[in-house]
């Protein structure tokens, strides 16, 4: 799905698209409120909540203590009680502090209660390396979340998707996790002014080609696309699929492409071992084994915490060059 | 107990060394010569200095994201610190940790920490090890007012008290957690009120008065060494720079007036006035301490700049230890 071409195209940043989608949902639904550290007066450490406190007041844009467990718990309790919370956990790494509330409580309440509870809560957070923020401020932990039945997880790669997916997350009656990438916040792109949804569980094909399927999401969409563009001049044409939602996965789009190209690479920034690439590769093997001409290539970060020093971090984060080399080898295999 | 002249000079030197390190780091950051986040301790020097002057190398401390001051006060090496901030191979963590993970285990400095409250249970664990071994070592945990809102703090405080561990809780109350004032995130004014709920003695000290901090810490540390359990000190202090970096970001979250009033109570200037009137150290003597620190910091910057970058091949080193079990250690 490509963004509709507006008559007068308006380009805004990924972070601003997030803010706009949130503000529009707050306008549209009085049950939507936001809570998190520094989201109120300060407008969020990344500026993602700027102006909301002034506009909607302290009751709807709540500055919380540094208490991730209670922040997510607040959202869970308020959601069960009929509100539609958006709770922010500043860095994805800090979600680990709230893991009981996320995994044991929010994700399971509906099921454990025999379907009685409804939890329309969105947890927003920021992931990703590349800012020398070191091992506790740089992780991509989405695979952990996708492993948990009851949660939905999205990781948008561009401003248009950021706004539309956020709106869908807030409207969804399940606990959803909306993961921004810190290095995408300033990325500008076309974003319609109206309130629109991007359905959860729908991938988009950002580039078409018949030689190799590249399945990716988040910031790696950009690295993979630039690798694919470079390979095109060498005669290798890639289908680049941006998953957008990671739970549930749009495997139909992936499998159809794999059946056509017969070669698949999965690319994510998260550590390769135990990453989402393993799940995607297995599902492709289950659904399209007979179509494959080569083993599925999984590209992800090496098995170490994220290092601080820029030279090491650069080595750690997958980039277009290494992705291109691996795809080239895959195409030749 | 009144501090001896030697102690007074020691306190002064520790504070000055923190200040010069932090000012230099701030300058380098403004010139874009340091990667990553930088949380400066300027304004809060009396807390780390006053507490750490009561500790030996084998007493442990755990620290926060604002951790340089704690390491300098514990005797940290400028060169290793500066090299770490620059991400060099010669840094304290070989360039893998950076500002937020700086540590020196030989000095009992169990690490700065990127997770607010993350260091609190760790210091309690160190305190447990001290008690387990029957030693009179103590551990100190530094944490912010904001950190006192997180579960890890509450669980660890209760555990330290329940197990009567030799731990000193030092809350650096600088009135803000990032850009949000304390009164928006807690309904009490004094964090120390929380100590009573866990059954530990607590005291409030003027965190701009290094002698007051030293005295309170001296009492609490002695108490812990005698096996009488944990205590809590709340130091009222203020950071002179922004939450991270030097300049205030676009958002205005505290007034110039408030900042100026706190700067009037600069802990180093206050102490230097006092040292001069007590005849312990005159202006020239104080200047010599500053000059020595400045010379050291210049040397440290040069060392760090000349140091090699980490070898990319070190990326996967130290994810696990390769050492074999070698039997019971001393
Ligand atoms: C678990 C966790 N939540 C949030 C953060 C982001 N954060 C870093 S420092 C900070 C404020 C800490 O305030 P305080 O404890 O008062 O220490 P100060 O910065 O004032 O020294 C916050 C919210 C974090 N690092 N870890
Ligand atoms: Mg504080």
Return the number of CB contacts < 8 Å for A and B: 131
Residue A185's contacts (CB-CB under 8 Å, 6 or more residues apart) are: A13, A14, A15, A46, A47, A48, A126
Residue % of chain A over a pLDDT of 70: 98
**A311 closest CB neighbour out of B114, B150, B312:** B312
Q: Is the pLDDT of residue A144 over 60?
A: yes
List, for residues A166-196, the tens digit of each pLDDT value: 999 999 999 999 999 999 999 999 999 999 9
**B149 closest CB neighbour out of A38, A66, A310:** A66
Q: Is the pLDDT of residue A311 over 80?
A: yes
Which pair of tokens denotes residue A87? 């709770």
Q: Do B178 and A45 touch (CB under 8 A)?
A: yes
**Residue of chain A whose Cα is closest to the Cα of B177:** A66
Q: Do B114 and A137 touch (CB under 8 A)?
A: yes
Q: What are phi and psi of B326, to 5 degrees?
A: -120, 25
Beta bridge partners of B170: B142, B233
Residue % of chain B over a pLDDT of 70: 98
Which contiguous run of DSSP H or E holds residue A264?
Answer: strand A264-271
Q: Is the pLDDT of residue A223 over 80?
A: yes
Q: Do B186 and A40 touch (CB under 8 A)?
A: no
Q: Under DSSP, is residue A22 helix (H, G, I), strand (E, B) or coil?
A: helix
B175 lines ligand 1 (CB under 6 A): no
B170 lines ligand 1 (CB under 6 A): no
Pick from A92, A245, A93, A98: which is nearest to A174 by CA?
A245
Angle, vertex CA B103, rays to CA B110 and CA B215, nearest 5: 60
| Cβ–Cβ under 8 Å, residues B25 and B300 | no
Position B177 scores a pLDDT of 96
Please report the domains of chain A, with CATH numbers, ordered by start residue.
11-190 (3.40.50.970), 204-332 (3.40.50.920)
Distance of CA A265 to the CA centre of its chain: 19
Range scoring the smallest mean pLDDT among A65-79, A203-217, B47-61, B315-329 = B315-329
Catalytic residues of A: 137
Q: Where would I find the beta strands (DSSP E) of B164-230?
A: 167-173, 176-177, 180-181, 202-206
Spatial separation of the C-alpha atoms in residues B189 and B168, rounded to whole Å:
21
Position B324 scores a pLDDT of 87
Position A9 scores a pLDDT of 84
Query: Side by side, which strands form the sheet with A32-36?
Result: A61-63, A32-36, A84-89, A122-127, A176-181, A152-154, A245-247
Q: Do A69 and B151 touch (CB under 8 A)?
A: yes
Which pair of tokens denotes residue B41? 């301790």
DSSP A122-148: EEEEEE--SSS--TTSS---HHHHHTS
Q: What is the pTM of this model?
A: 0.96
Residue length of chain B = 330
B37 touches chain A (CB under 8 A): yes
List, for residues A23-61, the tens digit of each pLDDT value: 999 999 999 999 999 999 999 999 999 999 999 999 999
Spatial separation of the C-alpha atoms in residues A299 and A221, rounded to whole Å:
12
pLDDT-based confidence at B252, cuts 50/70/90?
Answer: confident
Position B326 scores a pLDDT of 86
**A303 closest CB neighbour out of B147, B179, B316:** B316
Give CATH for domain B5-304. 3.40.50.970
Position A5 scores a pLDDT of 55
CA B178–ligand 1 middle distance (angstroms): 6
| Cβ–Cβ under 8 Å, residues A250 and A1 | no
């Amino acid at each position: 799905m490509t963004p509709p071409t507006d008559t007068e195209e308006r380009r805004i940043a990924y972070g601003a698209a997030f803010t706009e989608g949130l503000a529009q949902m707050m306008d549209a639904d009085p049950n939507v409120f936001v809570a998190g550290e520094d989201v109120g007066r300060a407008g969020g450490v990344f500026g993602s909540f700027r102006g909301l406190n002034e506009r909607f007041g302290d009751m709807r844009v709540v500055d919380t203590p540094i208490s991730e467990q209670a922040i997510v718990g607040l959202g869970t309790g308020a959601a069960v009680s009929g509100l539609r919370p958006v709770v922010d956990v500043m860095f994805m790494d800090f979600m680990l502090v709230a893991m009981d509330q996320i995994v044991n409580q929010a994700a399971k309440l509906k099921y454990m209660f025999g379907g009685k509870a409804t939890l329309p809560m969105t947890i927003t957070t920021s992931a990703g390396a590349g800012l020398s923020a070191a091992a506790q401020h740089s992780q991509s932990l989405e695979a952990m979340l996708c492993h948990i039945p009851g949660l939905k997880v999205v990781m948008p790669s561009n401003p248009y998707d950021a706004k539309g997916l956020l709106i869908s997350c807030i409207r969804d009656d399940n606990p959803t996790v909306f993961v921004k990438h810190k290095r995408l916040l300033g990325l500008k792109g076309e974003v319609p002014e109206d309130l629109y949804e991007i359905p959860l569980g729908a991938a988009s094909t950002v580039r078409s080609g018949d030689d190799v399927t590249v399945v990716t999401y988040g910031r790696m969409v950009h690295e993979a696309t630039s690798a694919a563009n470079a390979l095109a001049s060498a005669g290798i044409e890639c289908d680049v699929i941006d998953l957008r939602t990671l739970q549930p996965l749009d495997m139909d789009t992936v499998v159809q492409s794999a059946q056509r190209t017969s070669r698949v690479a999965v690319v994510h920034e998260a550590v390769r071992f135990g990453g989402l690439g393993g799940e995607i590769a297995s599902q492709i093997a289950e659904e399209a084994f007979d179509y494959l001409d080569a083993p599925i290539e999984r590209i992800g970060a090496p098995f170490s915490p994220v290092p601080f020093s820029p030279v090491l971090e650069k080595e750690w984060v997958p980039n277009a060059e290494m992705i291109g080399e691996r795809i080239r080898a895959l195409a030749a295999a | 107990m009144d501090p001896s002249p030697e102690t007074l000079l020691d306190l002064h030197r520790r504070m000055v060394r923190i200040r010069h390190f932090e000012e230099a780091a701030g300058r380098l950051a403004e010139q874009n010569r340091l990667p990553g986040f930088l949380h400066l301790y300027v304004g809060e020097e009396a807390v780390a200095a006053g507490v750490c002057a009561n500790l030996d190398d084998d007493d442990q401390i755990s620290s926060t994201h604002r951790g340089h001051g704690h390491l300098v006060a514990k005797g940290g090496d400028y060169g290793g610190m500066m090299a770490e901030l620059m991400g060099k191979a010669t840094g304290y963590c070989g360039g893998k940790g950076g500002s937020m993970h700086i540590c020196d285990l030989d000095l009992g400095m169990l690490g700065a920490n990127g997770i607010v409250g993350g260091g609190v249970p760790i210091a309690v664990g160190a305190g447990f090890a001290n008690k387990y071994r029957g030693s009179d070592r103590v551990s100190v945990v530094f944490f912010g007012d904001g950190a006192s809102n997180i579960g890890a703090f509450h669980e660890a405080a209760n555990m330290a008290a329940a197990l009567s561990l030799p731990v000193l809780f030092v809350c650096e109350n600088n009135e803000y957690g990032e850009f949000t004032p304390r009164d928006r995130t807690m309904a009490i004014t004094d964090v120390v009120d929380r100590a009573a709920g866990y059954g530990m003695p607590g005291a409030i000290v003027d965190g701009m008065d290094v002698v007051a901090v030293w005295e309170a810490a001296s009492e609490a540390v002695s108490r812990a060494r005698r096996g009488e359990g944990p205590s809590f000190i709340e130091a009222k202090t203020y950071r002179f720079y922004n939450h991270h970096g030097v300049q205030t970001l676009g958002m205005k979250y505290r007034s110039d007036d408030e900042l100026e009033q706190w700067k009037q109570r600069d802990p180093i200037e206050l102490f230097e006035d006092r040292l001069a009137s007590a005849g312990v150290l005159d202006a020239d003597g104080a200047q010599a301490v500053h000059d020595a620190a400045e010379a050291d910091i210049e040397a440290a910057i040069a060392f760090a700049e000349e140091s090699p970058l980490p070898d990319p091949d070190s990326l996967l080193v130290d994810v696990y230890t390769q050492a074999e079990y070698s039997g019971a250690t001393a």
